[in-house]
Amino acid sequence: MTMYDKLQAIAKRENIIAGVGNAEPFYALRERLRYTAVPFTAYSIEERTEPSVTMPAVKSLVAVGSSYNVIYDSIDDGKYRGNISSGAVGKDYHRVIKEKLEIIKNELLEDHSTMIFSDTGPLADREVAVRCGLGTVGKNLSVINRDIGSMFFIGYMLTDVEYEKWDAPIANKDEDVCTGCGKCIGSCPGNAFDNGTFRYEKCISYITQKKGVLSYEESKALGIQIYGCDVCQRVCPKNTGYKRAYSEYAYPNIEELLNMSDKEFKRIYKPTAAGWRGRRTLQRNALIALGNMKADREDIIKRFAEDSREDIRAAAEYALKCIKER
Ligand code: SF4
Ligand code: SF4
């Protein structure tokens, strides 16, 4: 059995997808990055586009994907509840992906140099996934895999192993991956797809994670999102193979979230992908969600209108204004 076949056998057993690609620089991305701002990364253009800057001995890239295509049953208990996108519910995907990559490393690459990354690595996950043949980029800018759609977490590994074969990037010639139907663009609540240009600053997922005071427009666009947004993937016909599940974390009780101590927040949210942004940002979003719901909870909101933190105070003032206009 070749190394490549062994990799695929492990992937099948672990219920993930995996592919291998060369470690050449990402030349096309390098050009694009010169003119595009990338939020939430401190890596230089060289680090983001040249695998050898991070690992001089690198010979191959191994990308893996783990599906999170789940729809959580709504909770109708009369409480004011926000929404957390399905990818951020449950165990933090960084850990899930890291565990899978560790399994590959331990079973297959024990005698080799490897570096493992999930989300926080220098290279662009999407580019690595495409080069390793996991899928092709759809109009919603997500990597779509023929079998599992686009709702999967991506992780990758740099290794000094030369595999017997590399996966080829998948072509979308027959529109068998992205059909070009445009549902993703038409359904985007933030209107982030602007004439073929992605405006990340209008993306709700980005807005829920960015720190500081949100503008009136950003607050309105947030709706009831506490963390993340996945509408452009949810509406995609390639993601109809979802599972159903129940989790209270998908629809957090806003009153509970606002009353939560830092210790409680860490216990409940730290193991999830939504926890990394911290209590303050999620509570800011929770206040805005109450406003957008025109919730009958001025008593709670007023407590935060006197807060010493400007972003929290501004969110409370926004919520009170919305409720007044009810
Ligand atoms: S995540 Fe939401 S706001 Fe962002 S592009 Fe997709 S649908 Fe639009
Ligand atoms: S919704 Fe349609 S256009 Fe958008 S990514 Fe999916 S298949 Fe492509």
Give tens-digit pLDDT for 31-58.
887 766 666 667 888 999 999 999 999 9
Band (172; pLDDT cuts 50, 70, 90):
low
Instruction: Output the residue whose Cα is nearest ligand 2's atom 2.
Output: 181
Residue 257 falls inside a structural domain? yes
**Residue 184 pLDDT level (bands cut at 50, 70, 90):** very high
Packing angle of the helix pair 298-305, 278-292 (nearest 10 deg): 130
Buried/exposed 186-208: b ≥16 CB within 10 Å, e otherwise: eebebebbeeeeeebebbbbbbb
Among 182, 135, 185, which residue's Cα sits nearest to residue 21? 135
Question: Is residue 54 one of the residues assigned to a domain?
Answer: yes
Tell me if 62 sits within 8 A of 104, measured CB to CB: yes
Give the pLDDT confidence score for residue 288 in this predicted structure: 98
Domain span holding position 196: 190-228+253-324
Same domain? For 202 and 318 the reply is: yes
The whole-number pLDDT of residue 37 equals 64
> Are residue 108 and residue 60 in the same domain, yes or no?
yes
Q: Are residues 13 and 149 in the same domain?
A: yes
Are 180 and 145 in contact, with CB atoms under 8 Å apart?
A: no
Q: Are residues 213 and 110 part of one domain?
A: no
Cα(15) to ligand 1 centroid in Å equals 27
Task: Please check whether residues 144 and 14 belong to one and the same domain.
Answer: yes
For position 298, what pLDDT does the model report?
Answer: 94
**Quick one: average pLDDT of 301-324?**
96
Q: Of 12, 13, 26, 253, which Cα lies nearest the Cα of 124?
A: 26
Domain contains 234: no
Q: Which residue has the tokens 């740099």?
A: 158
Q: Which of 183, 204, 210, 226 to mutate to test the pocket of ligand 1 (most atoms within 8 A of CB)?
A: 204
Residues 39 and 142 in one domain: yes
pLDDT at 255: 96
pLDDT in tens, 66-107: 999 999 999 999 999 999 999 999 888 888 999 999 999 999
101 and 224 belong to one structural domain: no
The last residue of one of the domains, among 113, 141, 159, is 159
Model confidence at 261, pLDDT cuts 50, 70, 90, reads: very high
Percent of the chain scoring above 70 in pLDDT:
96
Instruction: Give 300's contacts (C-beta < 8 A, 6+ positions apart).
Output: 255, 258, 259, 290
SS3 94: helix
Domain count along the chain: 2
Residues 99 and 200 in one domain: no
Distance 208 CA to ligand 1 centre (A): 11
Q: In ligand 1, which atom is closest to the CA atom of 85?
A: 1
Determine the pLDDT at residue 84: 97
Does the residue 78 lie in any domain? Answer: no
Alpha carbons 11 and 103: distance in angstroms, whole number? 10
pLDDT at 177: 86
Task: Mark which of 159, 176, 204 sits at the end of a domain.
Answer: 159
Residue 153 lies in a domain: yes
Helices marked H in 14-63: 27-33, 45-49, 51-54
* Centre of ligand 2 from the C-alpha of residue 178, in Å: 5
Residue list, ligand 1 pocket, CB within 6 Å:
188-190, 192, 203-205, 229-232
Write down the pLDDT at residue 276. 85
Convert the pLDDT of each residue in 197-239 to its tens digit. 899 999 999 999 999 999 999 999 999 999 999 999 999 999 9
Alpha-carbon gap, residue 51 to 37, rounded angstroms = 20
Q: Is residue 174's pLDDT more than 60?
A: no
- Cβ 297 vs Cβ 80: under 8 Å: yes
Q: Read off the tokens for 315.
A: 């969110």
